[in-house]
């Protein structure tokens, strides 16, 4: 079955450490997205990519970095510069403009 | 530019009662509209979509939504609520002309026994 896989489901890190969240899709979608979800704040866009080797900042890109070396993969690194990294992170993909998003099951990151 | 407003961050209905979740949008070009559902600690799942075909759209789990251009609305309904419908629901607007995807802030649906 096609879908999006995010791993791990839960992640714990100490403050000051960088951490990378994995997102893999086998839907052959060109576009991929990273969202952050906090209670009561809905979804906020971190980064997105419409094509391999290209990506754009979203609304809250500071303290995050991404790469898009393969169509299937769009990893997100939460750096030590992100002041409040504890959150639920969602990866999504789509065929392109106007197409619905397909979401992974999320990674809950806790930084202490 | 597009925007979307979901009225009511929390909605409670009794089991078996009508579910109505409100969504109003604005868009300078013809919009594409979506409703997603999110269960706790999971990703979002597409319920239904409007992409300029029929104005009454049927989705999964017995949900439907009607696109009303004159009211700029895309409210989500279900005739009879079930306990399993308890979740958070998001209304989303985009277009087929650019990469902007605008999420509403979500409505948490509570089902009362």
For B19-53, what is each residue's pLDDT tens digit?
999 999 999 888 999 999 999 989 999 999 998 87
Q: Note the pLDDT of residue B54.
A: 87
Q: How far apart are CA A55 and CA A36, in angstroms?
A: 17
CB-CB neighbors (< 8 A) of A56 in chain B: 99
Q: Give B81-106 pLDDT, tens digit per residue.
A: 999 999 999 999 998 887 889 999 99
Length of chain B as a residue count: 113
- Chain B residues in contact with A109 by the CB 8 A cut-off are none
What average pLDDT does the segment B2-20 reach? 96
- Given a cut of 70, whether residue A105 has pLDDT beyond it is yes
Q: Note the pLDDT tens digit of each residue in A77-89.
A: 999 999 999 999 9
The pLDDT score that the predictor gives to residue B6 is 97
pLDDT-based confidence at residue A1 (cuts at 50, 70, 90): low
Q: B1 burial class (0-12, 13-18, 19+ CB within 10 angstroms)? A: exposed
CA distance B31 to B21: 19
Residue A3, min C-alpha distance to chain B (Å): 12
Please tell me if residue B96 touches chain A, with a CB cutoff of 8 Å: yes
Q: Do A45 and B101 touch (CB under 8 A)?
A: yes
Is the CB of A102 less than 8 angstroms away from the CB of B46?
A: yes
pLDDT at A2 over 80: no
Rounded to a whole number of angstroms, the CA Rg of chain A reads: 13
For range A30-53, the mean pLDDT: 94
Question: Greater confidence, A40 or A63?
Answer: A63
Average pLDDT taken over every residue of chain A: 95
The predicted structure's pLDDT at residue B95: 87
Q: Is the pLDDT of residue A41 over 90?
A: no
| Bridge partners of residue B110, in order along the sequence | B12
Spatial contact of B68 and B17, defined as CB atoms under 8 Å apart? no
Residues of A in contact with B95 (CB under 8 A): 97-98
């Amino acid at each position: 079955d096609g879908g999006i896989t995010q791993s791990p489901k839960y992640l714990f890190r100490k403050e000051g450490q960088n951490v990378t969240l994995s997102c893999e899709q086998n839907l052959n979608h060109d576009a991929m997205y990273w969202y952050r979800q906090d209670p009561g704040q809905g979804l906020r866009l971190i980064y997105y990519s419409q094509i391999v080797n290209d990506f754009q900042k979203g609304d809250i890109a500071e303290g995050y970095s991404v790469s898009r070396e393969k169509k299937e993969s769009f990893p997100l690194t939460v750096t030590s510069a992100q002041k409040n990294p504890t959150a639920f992170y969602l990866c999504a993909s789509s065929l392109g403009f106007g197409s619905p998003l397909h979401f992974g099951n999320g990674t809950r990151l806790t930084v202490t | 530019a597009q925007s979307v407003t979901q009225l009511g961050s929390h909605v409670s209905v009794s089991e078996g009662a009508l579910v109505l979740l409100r969504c109003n949008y604005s868009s300078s070009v013809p919009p594409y509209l979506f409703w997603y559902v999110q269960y706790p600690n999971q990703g979002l799942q597409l319920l239904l979509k409007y992409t300029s075909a029929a104005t009454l759209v049927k989705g999964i789990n017995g949900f439907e939504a009607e696109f009303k251009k004159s009211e700029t609305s895309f409210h989500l309904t279900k005739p009879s609520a079930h306990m399993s419908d308890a979740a958070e629901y998001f209304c989303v607007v985009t277009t087929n002309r650019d990469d902007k995807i605008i999420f509403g802030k979500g409505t948490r649906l509570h089902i009362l026994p």
